[in-house]
Structures are given as structure tokens and as C-alpha cells.
């Protein structure tokens, strides 16, 4: 591929620049423009036929003073020639303009709808979950990044505030408010985490995103943290954003255990189980590898016992959203099971891969005819 057609929609773009004390920094619109230009140049330099990113940019903000300031910023940048051509600046509510944005995305990428939506809202109630659901349902290769100030919402929840329009936008029902309020009023040690998990399940259901990553961005200066949710329709996209979170060990956290099924927590009354905040550092990565070492044999064994020949997509794709685990954590454990003689790895066409050091998404796994005597699969057979 020597051309990539992709659209970037920034639904709450601001004025394109912000200040921190005496310092000034580019905002997300200019970061988009500069990053795409840099990547096009970097990739093109190593491709025989070069590489071109045919990008479409739509920057939206409800404040006219923001959009006017952004236009001035771009006019004073290296991207001035793209204004009102590849770059559109719209003033209005993103939820009202989302249909028009989808139309523009389809013009640029008719078949795939390849697009990235950044919805960096202020607070938690500006973005309608119905808007995200519409994006994911109508654009085949779309991804959405949503910021959500969950701490602010957890502090704000009260039954009397349900009638506010803010709750209606995120489709919160009276029953859900009452359930979250119950944990808050009882002042459980893990009440905040439980509320976050109710909301996590709620957002997942209302957006109908097949893949998601509800990790936290925590400021070293402030006590509050916020979700930076990634919502998509593809396991590969979910895996890549997971890898990025692992790289950002100083700012990324998750409320959950190591290994699989770490984030989808349902309270059972045993509040000793409440989920702690975990930094995604080297120690956490090793804990996840240790957990996968215990969990992976059971996943493969159950799939084979059910008459299947599981692939990496089968094992990872259906579970990745509830876990900090990524492909680079799972892959070494699958190779280890192969090297120890417990499983066989086959390519999609059935060819055995006896020495491969990598696992493809479509590779399939079978139990070895003679697994090791004291290996994990022998133990599982005895337990059954």
C-alpha cells in the first residue's frame, strides 16, 4: 500500500493552543497535522514507491472564539494552504454535526471509512454515547478516543440530579444512578472503583464497541484521574493502543488485577476483592505474564475440548478488552507451550510451525498428541 486514506475528526478541538504558566503548547489540531506530516515523510523515506497519507481533517468546537483562534493558528502555520480544502473548521455541537462528519469521512474513504475521532470533552456529559454508537456502526474502520472525567461524575452522582440533561446524554437510567448511589452512601473503601466499573459496563453497552480499553490517565500533580477510553471494531487496534499504554508507565493506570478478566468486576459483597489502582510498569507486566502462564493452558484446553481449533484471535480477541494483557505478553507463553511439547502451532493453511518465534493472529493451536507428563494439560485432564 502506497496511499492511506484516513480522516481525523476532533470533536472538541479548542483554539489549537494552550498555555501552562508562561509556556505555550500546540493543541490537538496542530498535533494531528504535524504528526501526520512527519509520519508520511518517515514512511515514504523507506518505501521504494514513497508513501502518501491522503488525510481529511475536521475540527469542531461549539465556541466561535475557539474556532476563530484555531483558524488564525493554522493560517500562521505550515498548513495554511490546506485550510478549507483538506482542513475544515466547524462551529457547533459535535453531536449535531456528527452525521455531517460521517459523510465527509465516507467521501475520503468510501469503502472502509478509515477514521479516528478524538472526543476530548470537558467533564463527562458533552459527548452523547449515541453519537459514538453511530460512528462505530456506520464506519467500518473507525476508532474513537473519548476522555471521561469519571472522578467528577462519581462525586456528582445523587438521585436528585438525575433529571439533568447531562445524565440523559450518557443514557444513565434512574436504576443505574440508584445502584451507584447505594455504594457511595455506604462509604465502602472501594466505592469509587465500583462506581467506575458500573460506568465502564454502561459505556461499553451503550456504544456497542466490540473492543475498548478503559485505562486511566493520572496526573502526577493532581489527585484526580480520568479515563482515556479507546473504542474500536478491531482486535489489532485494541492491541496497539494497549501497547502504547504499557509504554506510558508514568501516567497510565488501570483498576484491576493482572492477567485476563481483570477489569470486568462485579461486586459480590466481598469488598476485599475491590480493585486496586495498578501502574502499568515492568512489575505489573511480569505479574500479567505470570497470570497468563496459569490461564493460557485452560483457555486452549477448553476450546479444544469444545471441538474447536482456537486461533490467537479466538483466545485474545474475545477477552482483550477486560484486561491489560496485550499480544506481546501472550505470545511468549504460547511459544513456551510449543517448545515444551504441549501444543502444536499451525498456520491458517494447516502447515505446522515447529520453530517460529512469533505467532500470527490466524495461527491455530492444537494439543500435542503426547503432552509432557507433568505439564499443564496433563494436570487439566486429571482434574476433569
Looking at residue 327, which CATH number applies to its domain?
A: 1.10.10
CA-nearest of 377, 315, 367 to 343 is 367
Average pLDDT over the chain, rounded to whole?
83
Place of cell 461486586: 267
Whole-angstrom Cα distance, residue 326 to residue 215? 13
**Same domain membership, residue 313 and residue 262:** no
Same domain, 254 and 320: no
Are the C-beta atoms of residues 6 and 86 closer than 8 Å to each other?
no
Same domain, 148 and 287: no
- 119 in Cβ contact with 11 (< 8 Å): yes
Same domain? 143 vs 249: yes
Residues 101 and 158 in one domain: yes
Give Cβ neighbours of residue 328 (< 8 Å, ≥ 6 apart). Answer: 243
pTM for this model (two decimals): 0.84
The verdict on 185 and 73 lying in the same domain is yes
| Range 369-377 average pLDDT | 76
Under DSSP, the state recorded for 255 is E
Residue 82 DSSP label: G
Domain identity same for 289 and 192 = no
Domain range for 179? 3-280
Query: Would you mind telling me the total number of residues written for the chain in this entry?
Result: 384
Residue 201 contacts by C-beta under 8 Å, 6 or more apart in sequence?
264
Do 268 and 298 share a domain, yes or no? no
The pLDDT of residue 273: 44
d(CA 181, CA 315): 36
Question: Residue 143 has which C-alpha cell?
Answer: 476508532
Closest C-alpha among 206, 16, 226 to residue 121: 226
pLDDT at 228 over 90: no
Q: Distance between CA atoms of 157 and 167, rounded to whole angstroms?
A: 10
**pLDDT score of 187 more than 50:** yes
Strands 52-61 and 3-10 turn out to be parallel
Grid cell at residue 10:
476532533
pLDDT tens per residue across span 148-180:
877 677 666 665 555 566 677 777 776 777 776
Render pLDDT for 108-139 as a digit per residue (tens, 0 to 9): 999 999 999 999 988 777 889 999 999 999 99
Work out the end-to-end distance of the chain between its first and last CA atoms, rounded to an integer number of angstroms: 49
Amino acid at each position: 500500500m502506497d496511499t492511506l486514506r484516513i480522516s481525523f475528526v476532533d470533536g472538541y478541538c479548542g483554539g489549537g493552543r494552550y498555555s501552562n504558566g508562561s509556556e505555550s503548547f500546540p493543541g490537538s489540531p496542530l498535533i494531528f497535522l504535524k504528526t501526520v506530516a512527519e509520519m508520511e515523510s518517515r514512511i515514504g523515506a523507506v518505501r521504494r514507491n514513497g508513501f502518501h497519507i491522503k488525510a481529511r481533517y475536521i475540527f469542531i468546537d461549539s465556541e466561535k472564539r475557539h474556532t476563530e483562534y484555531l483558524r488564525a493558528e493554522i493560517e500562521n502555520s505550515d498548513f495554511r494552504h490546506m485550510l478549507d480544502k483538506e482542513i475544515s473548521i466547524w462551529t457547533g455541537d459535535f453531536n449535531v454535526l456528527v452525521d455531517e462528519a460521517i459523510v465527509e469521512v465516507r467521501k475520503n474513504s468510501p469503502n472502509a471509512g478509515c477514521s479516528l475521532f478524538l472526543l476530548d470533552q470537558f467533564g463527562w456529559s458533552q459527548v452523547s454515547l449515541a453519537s459514538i454508537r453511530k460512528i462505530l456502526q456506520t464506519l467500518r474502520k473507525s476508532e474513537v478516543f473519548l476522555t471521561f472525567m469519571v472522578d467528577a461524575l462519581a462525586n456528582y452522582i445523587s438521585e436528585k440530579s438525575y433529571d439533568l440533561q447531562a445524565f440523559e446524554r450518557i443514557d444513565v437510567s434512574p436504576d443505574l444512578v440508584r445502584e451507584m448511589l447505594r455504594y457511595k452512601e455506604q462509604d465502602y473503601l472501594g466505592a469509587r472503583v465500583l462506581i467506575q466499573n458500573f460506568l465502564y459496563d454502561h459505556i461499553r453497552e451503550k456504544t456497542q464497541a466490540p473492543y475498548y480499553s478503559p485505562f486511566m490517565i493520572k496526573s502526577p500533580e493532581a489527585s484526580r484521574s480520568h479515563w482515556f477510553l479507546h473504542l474500536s471494531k478491531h482486535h489489532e487496534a485494541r492491541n496497539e493502543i494497549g501497547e502504547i499504554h504499557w509504554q506510558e508507565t508514568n501516567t497510565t493506570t488501570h483498576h484491576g488485577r493482572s492477567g485476563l478478566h481483570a477489569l470486568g468486576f462485579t461486586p459480590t459483597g466481598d469488598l476485599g476483592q475491590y480493585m486496586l489502582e495498578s501502574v502499568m510498569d515492568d512489575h505489573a507486566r511480569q505479574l500479567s505474564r505470570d497470570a497468563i502462564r496459569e490461564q493460557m493452558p485452560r483457555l486452549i484446553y477448553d476450546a479444544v475440548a469444545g471441538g474447536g481449533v482456537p486461533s490467537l484471535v479466538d483466545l485474545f480477541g474475545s477477552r482483550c478488552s477486560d484486561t491489560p494483557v496485550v499480544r506481546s505478553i501472550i505470545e511468549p507463553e504460547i511459544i513456551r507451550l510449543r517448545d515444551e511439547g504441549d501444543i502444536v502451532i499451525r498456520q491458517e493453511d494447516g502447515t505446522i510451525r515447529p520453530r517460529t518465534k512469533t505467532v500470527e493472529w490466524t495461527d491455530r493451536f492444537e494439543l500435542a498428541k503426547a503432552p509432557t507428563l507433568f505439564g499443564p494439560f496433563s494436570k487439566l485432564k486429571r482434574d476433569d
